Chain A
Amino acid sequence: MADDREPPPLFDDEKPDKKEDEDDLFATPNEAPKEEIKDEPASLPTEPAQDKASEDLFAADDDLFGEAVKEVDTSKLRRKLTEDVDDLSPPLTPLEEPKPLIPTPADSSKAPPKKEPPKEKVKKYSQAKEPKPLIPTQADSSKAPKKDASENKNPPPKEEAKKKEDSQTKEAKPSKKEPASMAKEQPPLKPMKVSVDLHPPKPGEGEEVDLDSPETEGPSSPAKMEPDSDSSPLEAPPMAEVLPPAKPVIEEKPKPTPAPRKPSMEKSKEEVGYTSFAQIEEEESGDQFALDIKVHDPGKIGDGMGAYMSYKVTTQCLDFGEEKKTSIPAFRRPSMTVTRRFSDFLGLHEKLSQKHTHIGRIVPPAPEKSVVGMTKIKMSKEDTSSTEFVEKRRALLERFLQRISLHPVLQMDPDFRDFLEQDELPRATSTSAVSGAGVLRLIKGVGDTFSKVTIKMDESDQWFEEKQNQVEALDQQLKKLHASVEALVTYRKELGISTSAFAKSTAMLSNSEEHTALSRALSQLAEVEEKIELVHLEQADNDFFLLSELLKDYIGIIQAIRVVFHERVKSFHNWQNAQQNLAKKREQEAKFKQTGKTDKIAQAQEEIREWEGKVEKGREDFEEISKTIRTEIRRFETNRVKDFRNIIIKYMETLMNSQQQLIKYWEGFLPEAKAIA
């Protein structure tokens, strides 16, 4: 139970960040720091912050906060990061936006102004928004300060409480958007918080769509949203009941993202983190949320260059209605079907990798955009090559979703849930190959490869060194196998074509044959050969869809693993940087002491403390990511064995089936041949 829940909140937290950022843009500077700071400890790993640093280049320099220097630094970075994130993938879950997190003295004072900006927003988008459970704003402001105070003192035991409060406030804050009067009427709905956490709020999406991508097909209608809000209260009670025993869940939140600057807190969180890892592993061992996901009915929508393919995604919750319902944030319906276009899939992948890659999770690769294939579809009507292309892609997309659904953490991701569940999805803006975001992505990609070359790391961990080599070797092997299978597919198709040609020749021979029996036998032969052609083609399909695609998938996953390894190196690098800086600061301090510049010593010590925190954080991040990667790799290995075994057996069975068909056809033909004379 606890396991199940733990991951989603993390993600939720992150998203809110993004949203907050947006809000910030509209809102007063004060509000932002408070929210962000609070959120971050819970959700954002420090790495991203470092990432952001690199992204600073692209980010605008906004000076929104007039707070303590250190805080401004990180918050800026974060904001930039999240802005980038927003560019790439519009946040889907506005719900929990404002979360009081790490207390800053300023928070309490800032809280009040906060309310206003959201309200403005509400005015803008209120139509798109869904009526949500609202919590009186006063409660919010009062709570926030309390937490701040308590957190300032850093008493670990209180963390739980704080977090609970946090989650409450999270929910509460979205409510601010709504008129206060409404909010007051609905206080009883508070228990929903848990369910809300788990189920990313859909209502917000429409709103966000408006913000992020004006091209979206349109804000989701309030009518559509309502069912969600109706259903969520229903689910909420069980969740609430579950809550008390679920303490671990709450504790886990901090684990992935330990508070940046507070070593004392970090330690406690670290411990928590360890347990959570154990839990994750438990999850892997069995208790998973089984989803049966099918992608079907590909259809072309529109004409000309604006045309795109849409797919239906049908999800079946296999264990829906069982006890799991209580322990797992089940979907609202046992089965649901949504329509998605290709870029939505890419958007999903983008969002997932934004959230998970940097903390060491292997996000299954999404199929690549194929300009050639799509252009063909756009230009031509119905030809075999394009239907083949569509079918291949459909299968790819299906496997992509299935892989995510098999991942214990990713399957809980609110974005993934939304993807499966929401009728309307904000359109992914950043996936287009030619858009500005695409260019940005490209630049970032170049930067990444560049840093891959430049950042070197002396591998101290033998396990990682071995794994890295192993993964490279595996990559080589799979690529080779893939080439072989591709050749095999081609050969088989050629064989099918030849067989069909021979069937035609035989039919002609049979026509001009004067000997009646021989003529009949020949025409039978033609029929048999036609059937055999189908056997060959079917087998070619099996070669392709079973073997070739499996290998291709795994080649893609290996790429994802590489990225994750690289993230680890980056993390290591950050840690080392922090250490170097710390050393410098210490030197400086020593100098000051020597030279007797007492006035500067205090500041230097302050800096040293700050850097000590950063070093600690860096180390922790690094350990964290290493740990996650180990878990992920273990999962990968287990799945690899499972996948390959299953596919190989399946493939061999198709071979057997082919042989059986051959036997059948030829046995049918034999008496015909014997009857000739």
Chain B
Amino acid sequence: MRSVVLYRSVIAQEGEDQDVPSRLTSSKMDNATDETNTNGTADVSDSPEADQDTPESSGLPEPTLPPKPFEPVFTVKVTDAAKDGEVVKYSLKTTKIKSESEEYKVVRQYEDFEWLEHCLITQNDIGGIIVPPLPPKPSTTAQSAEARSKKQLGNKKRHGSDDEEGNDIKLVVGDEFEKDCRSLEKYLQLVVTHPILGQDESITKFLTVREAPTRAKLKKSIFSNLSKSLGEARKGGHKDVNEFFQKERDTVNEVSLQMKEAKENYMKIVYGEQRVAVGLSHLSTALHLGGQLQEGADVVVNKLFTQFSEGLEDAKQGLEVMAVNDENTLGFSLDLYSRYLEAEKEMLYRRTCKMMEFEAATKAVEKAKPQKRQMAEAARDKAEKEFEDISKAAEKELKNFHHQRVLTFQDSLVRHADAKIKAARDTYALLTKCVTALKTLDTNFKPL
């Protein structure tokens, strides 16, 4: 019983940890915003359309915008998720930063997020912006849940150790939306704190209007994805005029792959921990099951086993806590950035396209016949302007992005290590208790 209580304390700490991420991330985002401001002003000046789109841009003339930091309008929390039939509904709680009293609570589902993303992309000039990646759609069907469980807990047949475990597996990983909530929350925060996207009307509507926006079915054809990736492959190798961008492109290509791999491997660790926890729990259960023989040495052995199984249970819970923490700290960041780096890649690709357009226009000017020369020059100038704009925006965005990235990783690494230490200490304390109990256990028995 005591151990259970202690375990709760572990959970409580762990719960704090879970809370911490949101707090920390928001505070961190604030920090990030400081940097953003400098860009923010520039961005705004660069993209007049964005200004027009945002009613909240307060109509200040762009040049006069001092290095006043961009301040996000809202803080967002995804407080809860509930399954309603096939659809998972997320409860959002939004607070206006300037007036704490203004609080909005809305319910959204994943399709609404997709729509929001669509609006953000289409209604803003996202040329030089790294658009925060929307997390993949959470799986809600039974089959996918089972597949996920298998992935996490391993296919029993491979180990072929215990028939009973096979049955249990399906039950082990239930529906858990916690992780999805965190991911979506992070997404919203990234949008809200983004100097440009944060001023978008659609995000405001999304957060504050009770009625969900009309859900227009978005047709994402596989085709467009395919052509995009083909294009990336074709143009990816195009030499950059700017060394900074060339380097950035090279690195991001490399790092995004590594990040994905790291994330995969990290998740394997988490799954591995969960699996070991399951193994421990099975063992602990098996130890308990033996407790039916009530004679002679069995009594003592059963006592030993019971105590032992409690100890194993402690170890298992410690591991579970570790797994959850791992997933919430470093795992979360790795996951986010494996997607975020893709977004960066896309942004760089857009810039590369502009660059190629500009180069093509320059060539056209050279080749153009005198009578068309003027038109060509105009086109070239336009292309040049666009390219320069996008490069400028991209440079600032990248700077901001990397700064944020370092901060995020620092934060998650620190919390990761902290959580590990805490969990290990708690487990250690529990185990110590158990060993003491074992050592003092009276092992005398009366032989039959």
> Whole-angstrom distance between the alpha carbons of A470 and B448 in the complex?
12
Is A666 interfacial (CB-CB < 8 Å)?
A: yes
Is A387 interfacial (CB-CB < 8 Å)?
A: no
Q: How large is the interface on B (under 10, 10 to 19, 20 to 34, 35 or more residues)?
A: 35 or more
Evaluate contact between B410 and A676: CB separation under 8 angstroms.
yes
> Whole-angstrom distance between the alpha carbons of A398 and B239 in the complex?
68
Contacts A644-B301, A666-B424 known; A512 to B438 CB distance under 8 Å?
no
> Whole-angstrom distance between the alpha carbons of A634 and B268 in the complex?
48
Is B272 interfacial (CB-CB < 8 Å)?
A: yes
Q: Nearest chain A CB to B323's CB is how many angstroms away? A: 10
B298-320 vs A: 1/0 string, CB under 8 Å? 10110011011001000100100
Q: Nearest chain B CB to A666's CB is how many angstroms away? A: 4
Evaluate contact between A525 and B413: CB separation under 8 angstroms.
yes
> Whole-angstrom distance between the alpha carbons of A473 and B435 in the complex?
27
Q: Nearest chain A CB to B202's CB is how many angstroms away? A: 33
* Total contacting residues, chain A, CB less than 8 A: 63
Contacts A473-B293, A509-B259, A509-B262 known; A481 to B441 CB distance under 8 Å?
no
> Whole-angstrom distance between the alpha carbons of A667 and B419 in the complex?
11
Evaluate contact between A488 and B262: CB separation under 8 angstroms.
no
Evaluate contact between A666 and B421: CB separation under 8 angstroms.
yes
Q: Interface segment, A125-133, A311-319, A429-437, A497-505?
A: A497-505
Query: What are the residues of chain A within 8 A of B289 when measuring CB–CB?
Result: 477, 480
> Whole-angstrom distance between the alpha carbons of A642 and B283 in the complex?
20
Q: Interface segment, B38-46, B114-122, B157-165, B343-351?
A: B157-165
Is A652 interfacial (CB-CB < 8 Å)?
A: yes
> Whole-angstrom distance between the alpha carbons of A659 and B432 in the complex?
11
Q: Nearest chain A CB to B401's CB is how many angstroms away? A: 12
Closest to A504 in B: B265
Query: What are the residues of chain A within 8 A of B154 when measuring CB–CB?
Result: 491, 494
Query: What are the residues of chain A within 8 A of B282 when measuring CB–CB?
Result: 484, 487-488
Closest to B276 in A: A491
> Whole-angstrom distance between the alpha carbons of A189 and B195 in the complex?
107
Q: Interface segment, A193-201, A514-522, A580-588?
A: A514-522
B406-447 vs A: 1/0 string, CB under 8 Å? 110110011011101100110110011011001101010101
Is A149 interfacial (CB-CB < 8 Å)?
A: no
Q: Nearest chain B CB to A546's CB is how many angstroms away? A: 12
Q: Interface segment, B7-15, B61-69, B123-131, B250-258?
A: B250-258
B264-278 vs A: 1/0 string, CB under 8 Å? 011011011101101
Query: What are the residues of chain A within 8 A of B421 when measuring CB–CB?
Result: 662-663, 666-667, 670
Q: Which of A466, A481, A506 is the one whose CB lies under 8 Å from B448? A: A466
> Whole-angstrom distance between the alpha carbons of A491 and B268 in the complex?
11
Q: Nearest chain B CB to A285's CB is how many angstroms away? A: 12
Evaluate contact between A512 and B424: CB separation under 8 angstroms.
no
Query: What are the residues of chain B within 8 A of A483 when measuring CB–CB?
Result: 161-162
Query: What are the residues of chain A within 8 A of B424 when measuring CB–CB?
Result: 659-660, 662-663, 666
Is A463 interfacial (CB-CB < 8 Å)?
A: yes
Is B136 interfacial (CB-CB < 8 Å)?
A: no
Evaluate contact between A509 and B410: CB separation under 8 angstroms.
no
Contacts A487-B279, A518-B409 known; A659 to B428 CB distance under 8 Å?
yes
Evaluate contact between B268 and A502: CB separation under 8 angstroms.
yes
Is A142 interfacial (CB-CB < 8 Å)?
A: no
Q: Nearest chain B CB to A472's CB is how many angstroms away? A: 11
Q: Nearest chain B CB to A446's CB is how many angstroms away? A: 29
A529-564 vs B: 1/0 string, CB under 8 Å? 000000000000000000000000000000000000
Q: Nearest chain A CB to B408's CB is how many angstroms away? A: 10
Is A637 interfacial (CB-CB < 8 Å)?
A: yes
Q: Which of A485, A508, A512, A660 is the one whose CB lies under 8 Å from B428? A: A660
Evaluate contact between B418 and A645: CB separation under 8 angstroms.
no
Closest to B282 in A: A484
Evaluate contact between B283 and A485: CB separation under 8 angstroms.
yes
Is A369 interfacial (CB-CB < 8 Å)?
A: no
Evaluate contact between A655 and B409: CB separation under 8 angstroms.
no
Evaluate contact between A501 and B268: CB separation under 8 angstroms.
yes
Is A640 interfacial (CB-CB < 8 Å)?
A: yes
Among B272, B434, B439: residue with most chain A CB under 10 A: B272
Contacts A641-B300, A653-B435, A659-B318 known; A677 to B295 CB distance under 8 Å?
no
Is B88 interfacial (CB-CB < 8 Å)?
A: no
Is B235 interfacial (CB-CB < 8 Å)?
A: no
Q: Nearest chain A CB to B428's CB is how many angstroms away? A: 4
A262-298 vs B: 1/0 string, CB under 8 Å? 0000000000000000000000000000000000000
Query: What are the residues of chain A within 8 A of B298 when measuring CB–CB?
Result: 470, 474
Is B287 interfacial (CB-CB < 8 Å)?
A: yes
Contacts A486-B161, A518-B410, A521-B413 known; A637 to B265 CB distance under 8 Å?
no
> Whole-angstrom distance between the alpha carbons of A666 and B315 in the complex?
18
Query: What are the residues of chain A within 8 A of B407 when measuring CB–CB?
Result: 677
SS class of chain A's interface: helix, strand, loop or mixed?
helix
Is A80 interfacial (CB-CB < 8 Å)?
A: no
Query: What are the residues of chain A within 8 A of B272 when measuring CB–CB?
Result: 491, 494-495, 498-499
> Whole-angstrom distance between the alpha carbons of A474 and B424 in the complex?
34
Evaluate contact between B279 and A491: CB separation under 8 angstroms.
yes
Evaluate contact between A656 and B432: CB separation under 8 angstroms.
yes
Evaluate contact between B443 and A645: CB separation under 8 angstroms.
yes
> Whole-angstrom distance between the alpha carbons of A502 and B438 in the complex?
36
Closest to B247 in A: A514
Is A331 interfacial (CB-CB < 8 Å)?
A: no
> Whole-angstrom distance between the alpha carbons of A634 and B295 in the complex?
13
Is A490 interfacial (CB-CB < 8 Å)?
A: yes
Evaluate contact between B161 and A487: CB separation under 8 angstroms.
yes
Query: What are the residues of chain A within 8 A of B431 when measuring CB–CB?
Result: 652, 655-656, 659
Is B402 interfacial (CB-CB < 8 Å)?
A: yes
Evaluate contact between A488 and B280: CB separation under 8 angstroms.
yes
Query: What are the residues of chain B within 8 A of A492 when measuring CB–CB?
Result: 276, 279
Query: What are the residues of chain A within 8 A of B375 when measuring CB–CB?
Result: none
Q: Nearest chain A CB to B358's CB is how many angstroms away? A: 27
Q: Which of A473, A486, A490, A659 is the one whose CB lies under 8 Å from B427? A: A659
> Whole-angstrom distance between the alpha carbons of A324 and B284 in the complex?
44
> Whole-angstrom distance between the alpha carbons of A508 and B424 in the complex?
27
Evaluate contact between B159 and A490: CB separation under 8 angstroms.
yes
Evaluate contact between B409 and A487: CB separation under 8 angstroms.
no
Q: Which of B162, B255, B402 is the one whose CB lies under 8 Å from A484? A: B162
Query: What are the residues of chain A within 8 A of B255 when measuring CB–CB?
Result: 509, 512-513
Is B360 interfacial (CB-CB < 8 Å)?
A: no
Evaluate contact between B417 and A484: CB separation under 8 angstroms.
no
Is A65 interfacial (CB-CB < 8 Å)?
A: no
Evaluate contact between B414 and A673: CB separation under 8 angstroms.
yes
Closest to B158 in A: A490
Query: What are the residues of chain B within 8 A of A491 when measuring CB–CB?
Result: 154, 272, 275-276, 278-279
> Whole-angstrom distance between the alpha carbons of A491 and B432 in the complex?
24
Query: What are the residues of chain A within 8 A of B414 when measuring CB–CB?
Result: 670, 673-674
Evaluate contact between A670 and B418: CB separation under 8 angstroms.
yes
Contacts A481-B283, A487-B279, A644-B304 known; A505 to B261 CB distance under 8 Å?
yes
Evaluate contact between A498 and B268: CB separation under 8 angstroms.
yes
Closest to B266 in A: A502
Q: Nearest chain A CB to B310's CB is how many angstroms away? A: 10
10 contacts between A and B (CB under 8 A): A473-B293, A494-B154, A495-B269, A502-B266, A509-B262, A637-B297, A640-B301, A641-B445, A652-B308, A673-B414
7 closest Cβ contacts across the A-B interface?
Answer: A495-B272, A637-B297, A488-B279, A505-B262, A498-B268, A676-B410, A673-B413
B residues at A contact (CB < 8 Å)? 154, 159, 161-162, 165, 251, 254-255, 258-259, 261-262, 265-266, 268-269, 271-273, 275-276, 278-280, 282-283, 286-287, 289-290, 292-293, 295-298, 300-301, 304-305, 307-308, 311, 315, 318, 402, 406-407, 409-410, 413-414, 416-418, 420-421, 424-425, 427-428, 431-432, 434-435, 438-439, 441, 443, 445, 447-448
Apart from A491-B154, A498-B272, A667-B421, list 19 A-B contacts with CB within 8 A: A481-B283, A481-B287, A487-B279, A488-B276, A488-B282, A490-B159, A494-B272, A505-B261, A521-B409, A521-B413, A648-B438, A655-B315, A659-B425, A662-B421, A663-B424, A666-B424, A669-B413, A673-B414, A676-B409
